[in-house]
Amino acid sequence: MNPGEVIDLLEANKNERGIQNWNKLNSHTVSLKSFGIGLTVLRKLSKKIGRDHSLAQQLWKSDIYDAKIIALLIDDPKQITRNQVELQVENMYQGYFAHVFSSCDAALAKTPFVVELLTDWINSNDTMRKRCAYGLLYEVSKSKKKDAPDDAFFLKRIDHIRDTFDDEKNVIQVAMGGALLGIGKRNFILNAAALKLAKKIGPIAIKSGISKCEPFDLVKHLTSDYIKKKLGI
């Protein structure tokens, strides 16, 4: 497909209610337009389009929110470069793309340099890079590949979260919580370490100017019946 065909596909799937919500919430904060399509539908459309690095590069330059999301979802992990993502992370539009960029099973988490990248970004002084780093850490924690990081790597990340949590901005604390949850789902040893820290941290407030959200209760998630059954606890 070419960019024009993707835009036609998006227009054919536009959601009027979503457009109204977008205009109401974002018209004065970002210069992007939107077809109001939800992420679930965008992920389905991205699978229909398929992996295409060149197309992703072109769509990322669009001023349409939905097209940019598609770009992040269809990019080819084997062709993504470190220089590319360093430029992209500078254009997250106040975080509008951060979740899909670093999580949601998107392409970046599948790159061969993802562990190196998230390690560098965790130690960055840049809020957006650090936020995305923890999203990537969550994705990496789900990996079942033979070359996935070992327990020592994840225990080191837990220690880092413990040592820095109180000094971080809320948006990063929430991302840290997500990473801890992913790590704690990995095995019994990591669950115990993540749970110990979760009890110390307590529920994480989610400060959003858009809506009121319930605190992120990590302990509740890490001790759920699902987790206990999965890990044989």
Provide the pLDDT for residue 127: 96
Residue 221 has which token pair? Answer: 């998630």
Provide the pLDDT for residue 105: 83
Provide the pLDDT for residue 94: 80
Cα separation of 212 and 25, whole Å? 14
Cα separation of 120 and 133, whole Å? 8
Residue ranges of the chain with per-residue pLDDT less than 50: none
Shortest CA distance to 106 belongs to which of 135, 130, 129? Answer: 135
Provide the pLDDT for residue 29: 66
Question: What is this structure's pTM?
Answer: 0.93
Provide the pLDDT for residue 68: 97
How far is the CA of 44 from the CAs of 9, 27, 47, 57, 84, in angstroms? 12, 26, 5, 19, 25
Residue 124 has which token pair? Answer: 């960055």
Provide the pLDDT for residue 233: 85
**DSSP characters for the chain?**
--HHHHHHHHHHT--HHHHHHHHHHHTTT---B-----HHHHHHHHHHH---HHHHHHHHTSSBHHHHHHHHHH--TTT--HHHHHHHGGGSTTTTTHHHHHSTT-GGGGSTTHHHHHHHHHT-S-HHHHHHHHHHHHHHHT--STTS--HHHHHHHHHHHHHHGGGS-HHHHHHHHHHHHHHHTT-HHHHHHHHHHHHHH-SBP---SS-----B-HHHHHTSHHHHHHHT-
**CB neighbour burial string for 178-197, b if at least 16 within 10 angstroms, e if fewer:** bbbbbbbbbeeebbebbbeb
Provide the pLDDT for residue 24: 87
> Residue ranges of the domains in the chain?
1-76, 96-233
Provide the pLDDT for residue 207: 83
Cα separation of 217 and 199, whole Å? 9
